[in-house]
Amino acid sequence: MDTGVPSTPHIGLCSVSLRCYRRRGTGENSNLTNKTDKAGLLALVGPGLLFAGTAVGTSHLVQSTRAGAVFGLGLLLVVLVANIVKYPAFRFGAHYACVTGRNLVEGYRRLGLGAVLFFAAVLVLADGFAVAAISLVTGGIIKTVFDLNAGLFTIVGAVMAATGLFLVVGRYHWLERLNKIFMAILSLSTIAATILVLPRIEWSFYPETAPMLDITVLLFVAALAGWMPTPIESSVFSSLWTVEKAKDMGRKPSLADVTADFNLGYWGTAFLAVCFLLLGAGIMHAGSVEPADSAPGFALQVMALYGETLGSWSVPVVGVAAISVMFTTCLAVYDGAARALVAVGQTLRHGTEEAPAAAGPSGRAYSVTVGLLLLVAFLLLLGFVSSFKAFIDFVTSLAFVTAPIFAWLNHLVIVRDVPAAHLPPSGIMVWSRVGIVLLAAFAIGYLWLLFG
């Protein structure tokens, strides 16, 4: 297995400005990964907020709000721990892409064919369900906000078609800019609503009104943690977007800027997850409101959260914001999954040799992949839409079980394929090892509860 970092430029990237990706830290480009870009962080922000757009969807609007509605503050620690434990595994995706100019799929191939095939299997299964879940939630919110008479399947199909068309016709450039606007709208409205709901919250670590700890509760905890902030295989998306961002800019961002962008997106999603949990605890739990078991019903309850705190005037405004963010989540997840599938195909064809950069939104492979992905997701909806809660729990629990494996693979890629001079700080590496052990212990415990 070749673990070196070749010095040849990555085909498809801007070869002059990005050639430093491929070097081991020697020569005139060796210090570029540690300098702060003079263009300013705002222009460099992109992949990190796209990651946030991916996360602030089902895991936040649905799972975090449900956790607060049912358990009050009882699962706040679960949300915080899940975000903290998984941080290094997600960070490594952007770090690896910035330093090497390769995406994580290429990194997995350098570990061995088994790593790529495992990722491909999880991607096909988990992300098919993930796309279906996100589309279902988005369709439910649209149906509720606009009080549409059309069937839910019709609306979800329209959401999928519109999203796919945007990605095939549009570019990363517009995907990133739409995401910035929509994330800003939802973030401001969510923070305002959270501040207003604080006096209603029962400030107890585990309220008496919360369910008693049993197997059902523990399985829900696994589902909540599994997609908090999002499945770890999404770190591959971050690596793909980091490479694409460099192509879009026409130059290579520094490692400091890439890390700052990622941290903004990652810890921003963690903060919003807490906000949604507090909203669920302050309104739904305090008012003994049972979370609905359908996408439109739950969407209506989420809209009510804002209406009760900000006033009735805010419902249409927040409704549009929620639709915007969920549409952005659809764009980000569809795009990331399609890019990852194309990257898998290219990597399997080329092996450990230098492969062309992943096909962009105008590429035929990308367009076909988007279409097939949406078709599979829609077919999955036909079999699971009858139970919205069970559908979401299945998807998120699957992520919980595979989390330690992907955390371990990401750690190996960094250790074996990144030059020593550009490794993450030693504290992050220790953090990663501890996280892998904890995630493995949680996954084993979950499987024992489920089957033992």
Amino acid letter for position 62: V
pLDDT of residue 127: 76
Contact in structure between 91 and 229 (CB atoms under 8 Å): no
Tell me, what CATH number does 368's domain have?
Answer: 1.20.1740.10
Per the structure block, which two tokens stand in for 12?
């498809």
Domain-embedded: residue 3: no
* Per-residue confidence (pLDDT) for residue 416, from 0 to 100: 93
Residue-wise burial string across 4-27, b where 16 or more C-beta atoms lie within 10 A, e elsewhere: ebbeebbeebeeebbbbbbbbbee
Say if 24 falls within a structural domain. Answer: no
Q: pTM for the whole thing?
A: 0.82
CB 226 within 8 A of CB 398: yes
Domain assignment of residue 1, yes or no: no
Look at residue 21 in the predicted model and tell me its pLDDT: 37
State the Cα angle at 85 between 397 and 276, rounded to 5°: 65
Number of domains making up the chain: 1
Closest to 102 measured CA to CA, from 3, 22, 23 = 22
pLDDT at position 309, please? 74
Domain assignment present for residue 70? The answer is yes
Separation CA 442–CA 444 (nearest Å): 6
Residue 17 lies in a domain: no
Range of 416's domain?
A: 49-451
Helix axes 104-111, 314-350, angle to 10 degrees: 40
Residue 260 in any domain: the answer is yes
| Residue 224 maps to a domain | yes
Domain annotation covers residue 55: yes
Cβ(47)–Cβ(245) under 8 Å?
yes
pLDDT tens, per residue, the chain with 452 residues: 444 333 333 333 333 333 333 333 333 333 334 444 444 555 566 788 888 888 887 677 778 888 898 898 999 999 999 999 999 999 999 999 999 999 999 999 999 999 999 999 888 877 777 788 788 888 888 887 888 888 888 999 999 999 888 888 876 767 777 788 888 887 888 888 888 888 888 888 787 777 887 888 888 888 788 878 888 999 999 999 998 888 877 778 889 989 999 999 999 999 999 998 998 888 888 777 777 766 667 767 777 777 777 777 777 776 776 777 688 788 888 899 999 999 998 888 876 665 554 444 447 888 899 899 899 888 888 776 666 566 666 766 778 889 999 999 999 999 999 999 999 999 999 999 999 999 999 999 888 877 76
Burial of 358-380, coded b for 16+ CB within 10 Å and e otherwise, reads: bbbbebebbbebbeebbebbbeb
Task: Give the other-Cβ count within 10 Å of 355's Cβ.
Answer: 22
